[in-house]
Chains A and B, each alone.
Chain A
Amino acid sequence: MILNERCRDVIQELFNIGAGRAASTLNDFVQQRVFLQVPEVFLCDDRDQAIAWVEKTLDDQKLAIVQMAFQGDMEGRTSLAFSRKSAQLLASILSGNDCNKPDAELNAVGESVLVEVGNVLMNGVMGTLGNMLNMKICYQVPQFLHHNVELMVAEENASFLMARAKMTVAELEMEGVILVLFALHSHDHFLSAVERLAASK
């Protein structure tokens, strides 16, 4: 996947708009001041490169992942991944339940909280991408998964669009990764749409 600087900026901007909407939605529901930012995006066709980037960003082999498959003008799946510690912390703050301590196993309550957060964030980002790039996309139901990095990025023949998601809740900072994984036939379509949008600006 080749992307020029301008297209990269457009994608980062789209991610940030989506994250901003998601943060606003979360603020309404969890009664905590949630701040979301996407400071970096990374695109590649190489699985090993993608794994290395996720590992560098999250620094944890065991991840808490919320995943949503999508179809339509683009096909693939979107994942939101947190290191186990960040996932515990986030679930604990948002559910107001201090039993979800960072050093404990993530329980079903924590999982359902993360599913909702992932759902809001991924809907925000993918909804913005779909709207701004004028693409029709349908989504499947979000799922919670305990995976390691290699399972998260399992596909060999895919393009990877990854973004670092920085989330601040109750003055605590957590980092996650938003991974949009395109089926190979989709990414040309996606890039064309991005280039069109970049050219129109």
Chain B
Amino acid sequence: MKKSVSLVKELVLIKLKRQLFYKEVFWMSGIVNLSLFLVQLCFFSAIYGEIEMIGTWKRYQMLFFIGTYNLITNVGMMFYYFGLLRIPQLIKSGKLDLYLIKPCNPVLYIAFGEFDFSSITMVIMSIVTMIYSICIGEYTVTIENIVAFAFMFILMLILYFDLLLMVRCVSFYMLDISGLENLEWSLTELAMKLPGNLFVGVFRVILCLLVPYGLLSTIPSQIFWGNIDCKMFIYAVIVTAVFSCMTFLFWKKSMKYYRSASS
């Protein structure tokens, strides 16, 4: 554990130094995330211009939901998203071998090797949005809310990691996973635009259980807005634990299947 933590720390520091050197890349990536965030805000402000509530979600709660979603994805982008994204390319080029022979955990090495400091602008923007939504909602925040939110936030970061890695593991078996990545992006967009509890019937089962993108920002947001429900807590923990185990087993199985690019 200690070894893994120091590995992640070193990888982050190395990448941070490199990124600070290329300032234009830092700003451009920040602008991409900002454009997505602004589009999302425009989308919801257009809808809330017509109606008061979407289901049980008032305008300020939805704003908090958007902030939470962006916080999760941007913290994910900062630490592991771009690293995991490289896996199909590493497999194709055979460079994955270089990561496997290192005396450390290859998943951590790949995932945290592409630390992206440019997402910090969006992390700050997300936090500002969340604080703003709390202010306009005139809601009294308690310590319990913050602690519960922080716990769920970390849990959802782990779940997001699992979902990303699981999709990339498919590239061990298929030459081109761009279609699957497109599907994954659609699911991510869906989770970004709609709280999980607004899905109905079979869609809810699919998006909150089978491919739980619907939980990512819904559960932390719901818990923060005072609905600290034990069942929801346990459900989130179980789903994350199950997906982590599945991802671990899938990675192990894929590793056994892997024969390097040249064979």
Q: Is chain B found bound to chain A in the same assembly?
A: no
Residues of A within 8 A of B (CB): none
Residues of B within 8 A of A (CB): none
